[in-house]
């Protein structure tokens, strides 16, 4: 983290005198104290965030992609499963490839053993059930457990998430969240 200081044009005269006051303890090891002694504008690195919308970079439900899924990708490495908008799927699914949900799912979406998959719930998607996958990205609505283990969970500004979220790394960008969050500690080597 770093903090930049500059002279605020509206700062009070007494703050420009440069005399130490009772709060002036100098800098501490965290490097922040001195910056808040004389109130100035600070720019603090807070970590990575998400832009408000990532439609351009996230998988979208184009017809050609659906055709690809319908015909099946023979090697299975790039196939993406789709629950299209308007589709209502009831049941559990075992995922061996990435999955996008734009429709409604009542059931569990579970990553198969030995594979790493990502699940994207798009803005129109609604999942009532548990999602277990290494990468989970939600722009729509989920009710249930989101379990990425030590993986990543990304909750976008349009997301509505209720239930339990288990994550190794998480990003939340203003989502409607009513959930218990549980961080999964990284596994130690040799365990």
Partner 1 sequence: MELKTPQDTLTLDPIAMNVVNRVAAGTVLDGDLQFDGGLLVQGEVSGQVRVNGRLIVWTGGVVRGRVRVSGDLYLFGQLGAAGGNPHDTSLECQGMAYVSKTGVSTGTLMARRLQLYEGADLQGPFKTLKLGDHLPVLHDVHTEPTGSP
In a 10 Å sphere around its CB, with 0-12 CB exposed, 13-18 middle and 19+ buried, how is residue 90 labelled?
exposed
d(CA 84, CA 125): 9
Token duo for residue 14: 């007494």
* Options 14, 45, 64, 113; binder of partner 1; rule CB under 8 A: 45
In the complex, minimum distance from the CB of residue 83 to partner 1, in angstroms, rounded to a whole number: 17
Neighbours of 126 (CB within 10 A): 19
Nearer to partner 1, 28 or 71 (CB): 28
Q: Is 46 in the site for partner 1 (CB under 8 A)?
A: yes
Which span (45-53, 63-71, 84-92, 126-134) binds partner 1, by CB under 8 A?
A: 45-53
Q: Is 124 in the site for partner 1 (CB under 8 A)?
A: no
Q: Which among 44, 54, 66 is positioned nearest to 159, based on CA atoms?
A: 54
In the complex, minimum distance from the CB of residue 103 to partner 1, in angstroms, rounded to a whole number: 20
Fill in the DSSP letter of residue 25.
-
Interaction residues for partner 1, span 151-170 (CB under 8 A): 152, 154, 169-170
């Amino acid at each position: 983290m770093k903090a930049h200081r500059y002279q605020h044009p509206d700062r009070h005269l007494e703050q420009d005198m440069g005399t130490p006051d009772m709060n002036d303890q100098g800098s501490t090891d965290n490097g922040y104290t001195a910056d808040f002694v004389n109130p100035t504008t600070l720019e603090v690195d807070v970590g990575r965030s998400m832009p408000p919308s990532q439609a351009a970079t996230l998988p979208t439900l184009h017809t050609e992609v659906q055709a690809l899924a319908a015909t099946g990708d023979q090697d299975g490495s790039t196939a993406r499963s789709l629950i299209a908008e308007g589709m209502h799927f009831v049941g559990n699914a075992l995922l061996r490839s990435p999955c996008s949900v734009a429709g409604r799912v009542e059931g569990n979406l579970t990553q198969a053993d030995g594979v790493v998959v990502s699940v994207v719930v798009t803005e129109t998607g609604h999942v009532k059930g548990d999602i277990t996958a290494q990468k989970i990205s939600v722009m729509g609505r989920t009710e249930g457990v989101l379990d990425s283990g030590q993986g990543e969970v990304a909750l976008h500004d349009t997301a509505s998430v209720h239930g339990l979220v288990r994550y190794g790394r998480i990003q939340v960008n203003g989502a409607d969240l009513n959930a218990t969050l549980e961080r999964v500690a990284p596994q130690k080597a040799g365990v």
